[in-house]
Structure formats: structure tokens, C-alpha cells
Amino acid sequence: MKASNDVLSNQPRKGDMSPATSLKTKSKSILFKFTILSISLILVTGTSISPALPYMAKTLGVTSESSINLLATVPQVFVLIFLLLSPSISHAIGIKKAIILGLCCIAISGIGPLVSNLYWLILISRMLLGAGMGMFNSLAITIINRFYDDGEESTMLGYRGACEQVGATVATLLVGFLLTFGWHVAFLIYFLAIPIAILFWKVIPELPEPEEPMNEARGKLSARTYFTPGTIALFLLVCVIVMVNILVLLQIPRIAIAQHIMSAQSSSVAVSIATLGGFLGGVAFGRIYRRLHGYTLPAFLMLYVVGLMMLYFASNPAMLIIASFVAGFCAATTICGFNMIVQLVPAKAQAGANTMLLVGCNIGSFLSTYGIALSQKIMGDTATAPIVFFAIVLAVFAVVSAVIVRKTKVRF
């Protein structure tokens, strides 16, 4: 009789779960979580085929270095374009279908280079790869926002960042192995999107549009509003953090040589340690968040400052490697932005807000070399100048964020 009353009633009763809440109760299994995380394994594999470029240049008869490098960089242009289109696409066809469509584009992009020596066809295939990645880049975060809450959400966001690192590393290693069979075969790595798409289709249900509660925190926000002072601040934050992440990887070899610590070849060990630190930072993020909550961001920022200053004062290989690990670990600071955004926008606007932050990440990546040049113009033309400059910037961010959390008593 209770079921009949529920069907006949036109008014939702207090305590009833929304469709989105009901779906979250089904999201606890390891398979479910693995499936959601698996789509991030292939998100940053655009440049993994870079080792194949010299072989491609010989076969394709391309003499212009810029033309052959374009095959590695053009996906990023289309990632950015489809990042901006992603909220509209997911709204039109649904989040699940948009993710599967993006995975299919990635898989199809591997066919052209696998069977053809035509430069223009391979270039179009690379554009399609970027379109596929951009189509669900922000949705890989949004779907975590929808299915998980609080500490579990933070843990999944951290694991998602770690999965990107794992995916990029594994793809690069696979390309190195497959190159022994010819550069065409190296593009088989993009066929890995097929089992991921099938698993996602089988395991993950379509998400309904969220029922947005009207409360004091969000009652004045339109369902599509995500341009707020808070989200703009997070946009600037992730932009700067990604810029610092990249300049750390670029400056480690330069510092090693300038300070007579290591050779350029040996410094690759420190760069690898920094990348490992980034992976472990993503894995540990959820546990750290459960302890610190709103203070997670200022804590990560201050630890980043410590890591940068350790790089500045490094005088031997051990110090450089430890400093590289600490700075790499703090690359997970970007996760703070995506973790906090769900508290600042309505659920229906989360896809757009995540896209906004990912655009900030891409801009930060693009501006990293300009950030190095600016810092050296201000602080002096040395290998350590960018490290000191951005340590000061991050210290300011840390103090401001700590004051905001303390005064507003925000518990993200």
C-alpha cells in the first residue's frame, strides 16, 4: 500500500531521496568506482605518441619540424574547444552518452594513423582525439561530484588525478614497446578506449538532472550560474598552480646544472621523482582532506612553498630529489579547486564550473613559459628566480585562503 501511495502522491514527502541521491547508494562497489576512474586513464595520453614522431617524419616525407610537431600539439587545441562545448553536449544527450561518445572518438582516432601514411588524414585523426578528450574531460569530474559526497568525493577526486598520471605513464611505455613493430602500431594505444567505453556503458547508469534545493547558500543562484567571485578565485588558483607544476618540471634540470648538482641526464631521475610525488599526492588527497577540511588548501599551498624553497637551497643530489618529491606531491593542490567548486555552485552548474576550472588549467599550462620569463625579468635571469618568485605568490595565496576559511568558517 505504501508503494501505491508513493505513486499516487503528487507531492514529495519529507525524507524522500532524489534520483541523484538514490543513485549514490549504488556507487559503493569497487567495480563502480573503478569504472568511473577508468575514463581518466586515457585523458592525458595526447602527447604519449611523441616518441613516434621522428619515425613518422621519415615515412610521411614531412620536412618541416613544425608540421610534424603539430601532430603532437593539435589535440590540445581541440581539447580546449570541446571543453567549452562539453556542458552543452552533456545537457543535450546526457552525461553518460557524452562520455561514451568521447571515448568512441578517441578509439576512432587511432584508425587513421594505424592504416594510412596520409599526413592530412592523420592530422584529422589527431583533431578527433582532442575532441573526444575535451568532450568528457570535465565530465570525469562532474560524475564524481554527482555520485559522491564529502570525504569520499575528495578521495575519488584524488584517485582520479592519480589515474591521469598512471594512464600517461603506461601509454608512453606502451608506445615505446609498440614502436618496435612500427610507428603505425603505436596508435593502438587509443583502442584502449573501447573496453573502457563498454565497461562504462554496462556499469554506470545515466544521471538524471539533479533536483536543486533552495537554501541560504544557493537560493539566490540560477541553476546555470557559475561565474561567482568564489569560482573566479578558484579559476585563478588552478591556473597558477598548473603553471607552477610545469615550471617545477622544467626548472629541475636547469637548477641541477646551474648549481652543479647533477648532469642533465641524471636530473631526469629528479623529474621522475616529482611525477611520482604528484601521483602519491593524488592518492593521499582524500585522507588529508578528511583531517583538514577547509584548511586543506592553505596546508597544501604552504607545503608547496616549503618544497619550492627546498629546491632553491638544494646543493646536492639528495636534497634536490627530496625537494622534487615534495614539490611534485603538492601538484595535487589543483584537486582542492575541483573539490571546493561543488560547494559554490548548484549541482546543475557543476559541469560548467568544472569546465571553467579545466580551462584555467589549460591556460596555466600555456602560460608557464611566460611565467618563467616574467619571474626572471623581475627576480633576475637565473634558474632559481622562478622558484623564489612563485614561492612568494603561493605564500600569499596560502595566507589569504587561511584567513578566508578562518573568518567564514567554511567547512568544504
DSSP character string of 304-360: HHHHHHHHHH--SHHHHHHHHHHHHHGGGHHHHHHHHHTTTS-GGGHHHHHHHHHHH
CA distances from 325 to 119, 160, 252, 276 (A): 40, 20, 11, 7
pLDDT tens track for 266-301: 777 888 888 888 889 888 888 888 888 888 899 999
**Choices 3.90.700.10, 3.40.50.1000, 1.10.3720.10, 1.20.1250.20: CATH for 27-203:** 1.20.1250.20
CA distance 178 to 51: 11
CA distances from 319 to 304, 314, 326, 390 (A): 15, 5, 11, 20
CA-CA-CA-CA torsion for 398, 403, 405, 407, nearest 10 degrees? 180
Q: Residues with Cβ < 8 Å from 237, sequence gap 6 or more?
A: 336, 337, 360, 397
CA distance 254 to 252: 5
Q: Residues with Cβ < 8 Å from 264, sequence gap 6 or more?
A: 253, 256, 257
Q: How much is the average pLDDT of 164-192?
A: 89
Residue of 320, 322, 327, 329 lying closest to 254 (CA atoms): 320
Residues of the chain with CATH 1.20.1250.20: 27-203, 229-408
Instruction: Give the homologous superfamily in CATH for domain 229-408.
Output: MFS general substrate transporter like domains (1.20.1250.20)
Cα dihedral sign for 315, 316, 317, 318?
negative
pLDDT tens track for 357-403: 888 888 888 888 888 889 989 988 888 899 999 999 999 999 998 88
Residue 44's pLDDT is what? 83
CA distance 80 to 93: 20
pLDDT tens track for 214-233: 444 444 444 456 677 888 88
Residue 8's pLDDT is what? 37
Instruction: Please give the grid coordinates belonging to residue 10.
Output: 503528487
CA distances from 37 to 12, 206, 257, 396 (A): 33, 16, 38, 33
CA distance 136 to 319: 40
Task: Among 8-12, 175-179, 353-357, 401-405, name the one with the lowest average pLDDT.
Answer: 8-12
Instruction: Please give the grid coordinates belonging to residue 325.
Output: 618529491
CA distance 311 to 321: 9
8 Å CB contact between 319 and 313: yes
Residue 226's pLDDT is what? 63
Residue 63 or residue 141, greater confidence = 141
8 Å CB contact between 103 and 132: yes
CA distance 20 to 18: 5
